[in-house]
Structure 1
Amino acid sequence: MLQGERVTLRAVERDDLPRILAFNNDVAVELAGGGDPPWPQSFARVVADFERDTAGGGRDGGKGGVNFAIEADGQIIGFCGVRDVDPFGRTAELGITIGDKAYWGRGYGREAIRLVLDHAFRLLNLRRVFLRVHGRNERGIRAYRACGFVEEGRLRQHVWSDGAYDDLVLMGVMREEFQK
């Protein structure tokens, strides 16, 4: 468990699944995250994903990363973590979703990102964390920059999102940059 001023990052629990289902089925949340096009998701699918991930054994469920529920005010407001850890390059990809829109634009995502980065660099001994974000996600890009990420590349009109093509922005932060 990682504790910040306003958020706690903890393991995802079975009791969190109904809330995660609501986040995953909220089109505005899905579009803000810039992931795949929104598709309806059943509770059975959320449960199956949870069981697959937790059945993998070990601390990371066999996925080469770590996932956290983001908790604030006694409830889950989203999830975050790093995935696809490269044991040789010491890199990983960051992912974050603030699913509760009441917590958007209030700094909760930034605090969660800083906690994840501290965990990644200090405890996982990573040297670089990167992410992909849609170019129209200005709120996300501002949050990533505030946490030390810099734009490393841009794939023009690379993704289809909300009725239009959008740039895919590649951002990264090195351990030394984060520690400053």
Structure 2
Amino acid sequence: MARKSSIKRKTKETDIKVDLTIEGKGKSNNKTTIKFLDHMLDLLAKHGLFDLKVKTRSLDKDQHHLVEDIGIALGQAFNKALGNKKGINRAGYFVMPMDESLAIAAVDIGGRPYLKFDAEFKDKAVGGLETELVEDFFQGFVNNLQCNLHIQLPYGRTTHHRIEAIFKSFSRALSMACEIGRIKDKIPSTKGKI
């Protein structure tokens, strides 16, 4: 059975719909009104082999609300698609070079939200995306998937490549954590639930 979900999030600030298939083929159709964020979500789908469709409208024209709410809705979509988390690897990690940039991501879908985001960007915006909002996107995601996520970017020159390396390493780590592992029919926790 394919693990999929559909989430609709509408507030006074944003209107968002996310369709997700975890066992996908890397297909994406993302229309967030922010071209660079669309590109990053396309990378998430492609490198994680998720099928992902994100459609949004900003009702108050504030990019902060839109980017954070996309992270929230995406975290909710993964949480719903994973259900009781039976059989998943739970943890995943990946080191991704992107030309001169290197990003490290480690995730644990263990029911406890925590984000450690160790990355800096010299440009205030890239491709229409305010770079300070990248961390807010991941915080929204982490809070709603209920996972630990550590992202580290030890070096890189261009802001575009820095953010791209982060999204690629994150997608591969998340894919690894979501995969059904050797424990197929058990919850991956000594507590018996996540």
**TM-score computed with the length of structure 1 as normaliser:** 0.39
Which of structures 1 and 2 has the larger relative contact order (alpha carbons within 8 angstroms, sep 6+)? 2
